[in-house]
Amino acid sequence: MKSLIVYYSRKGENYWNGTIKNLEKGNTEIIAEMISKLTAGDLFEIETVKSYSNDYYKCINEAQTELHASERPALKSFVDSIKEYDTIFVGYPNWWGTMPMAVFTFLEHYDLSGKTILPFCTNEGSGMGSSEKDLKRICKGAVVKLGLSIHGAEAKESEAKVKAWLDKSL
């Protein structure tokens, strides 16, 4: 089984246990790297052409505007081919109850028929939101398994939780 771990993560200002904290590495990236280490899967970071504001509150307003408009922001790059991958882990922060629109852009670029999708989400208490339902809607022909929700402020201490989810899901 060959795995791909695709993720969108936010460095810099983030909501963190009720305050704003500047993160050198985004919470979702931390979890993606754990999954890669535990599965020997390939990592791919989803990056938008347009940068979001460094200010957390401005960023979430930009994200909400994109969501309401069903925008699909342009990405800097895509994986050349996903044919060799059986399992695709999809990681993201919960933005307004679902995935950032950049994740939609990435997934809609491919035919995911026959793939197994394993979502993982970092959040400060909102869980997976509607993201699993959204994944089932846009990943036609794929099997979307139960996702993993990680409290963002606990990302660095979540390896046991990630491993337990992997053991159950794979």
> What's residue 17's pLDDT?
93
Q: Which domain holds residue 96?
A: 3-169
pLDDT at 137 over 90: yes
Q: What CATH number is given to the structural domain containing 47?
A: 3.40.50.360
Q: Residue 125 — left, alpha, or beta (φ > 0 → left; ψ -120 to 50 → alpha)?
A: left
Question: What's the domain count of the chain?
Answer: 1
Q: Where are the beta strands (DSSP E) in the chain?
A: 3-7, 12-16, 19-23, 42-45, 87-93, 116-123, 143-144, 148-151
pLDDT at 1 over 90: no
Rounded mean pLDDT of 1-5?
93
Per-residue pLDDT tens over the stretch 70-94: 999 999 999 999 999 999 999 999 9
**pTM, 2 dp:** 0.97
Neighbouring C-beta atoms of residue 47, cutoff 10 Å: 13
pLDDT at 138 over 90: yes
Per-residue pLDDT tens over the stretch 98-122: 999 999 999 999 999 999 999 999 9
